[in-house]
């Protein structure tokens, strides 16, 4: 099995099994975690089913995308582009300059 297929399978399991296991646990059995506000910048917790706001801490603060969002983006990209994973892509200097944040090893040709 190719390494990228193993990675895709792992990510798929992560994003399918973990929420499924959490959904299978009755809500009354889950106790609220102790939240140490001196260790976090901001938080927003809501109920997916009802949309009710359950907890907020500095909800107005602007924060960078979380790792889970980046992983989900990677999963969707891999699923949609799976037939093109072996194609080479040419990156120009202008393209590289226009990428904000982490460039993940992009090198201009």
Interval 13-39: pLDDT, tens? 666 666 666 655 555 545 656 777 777
Pair 12, 75: CB distance under 8 Å? yes
Summarised one tens digit per residue, pLDDT across range 73-106 is 888 988 888 888 888 888 888 888 887 766 667 7
Compute the distance between CA of residue 2 and CA of residue 88 in angstroms, rounded to an integer: 17
- Whether this prediction's pTM lies above 0.85 is answered by no
**55 in helix, strand or coil?**
strand
Answer for the pair 69, 15: CB distance below 8 angstroms, yes or no. Answer: no
Asked if residue 88 lies in contact with residue 107, where contact means CB atoms within 8 angstroms, the answer is: no
Express each pLDDT in 44-74 by its tens digit. Answer: 888 888 888 888 888 888 877 677 888 888 8
Q: Output the pLDDT for position 103.
A: 60
């Amino acid at each position: 099995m190719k390494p990228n297929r193993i990675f895709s399978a792992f990510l798929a399991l992560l994003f399918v099994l973990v929420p499924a296991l959490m959904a299978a646990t009755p809500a009354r059995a889950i106790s609220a975690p102790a939240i140490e506000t001196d260790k976090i910048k901001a938080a927003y917790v809501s109920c997916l089913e009802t949309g009710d706001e359950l907890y907020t801490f500095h909800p107005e603060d602007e924060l960078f995308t979380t790792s889970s969002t980046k992983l989900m983006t990677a999963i969707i990209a891999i699923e949609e582009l799976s037939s093109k994973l072996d194609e080479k892509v040419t990156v120009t200097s202008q393209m590289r300059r226009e990428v904000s944040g982490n460039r993940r090893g992009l090198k201009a040709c």
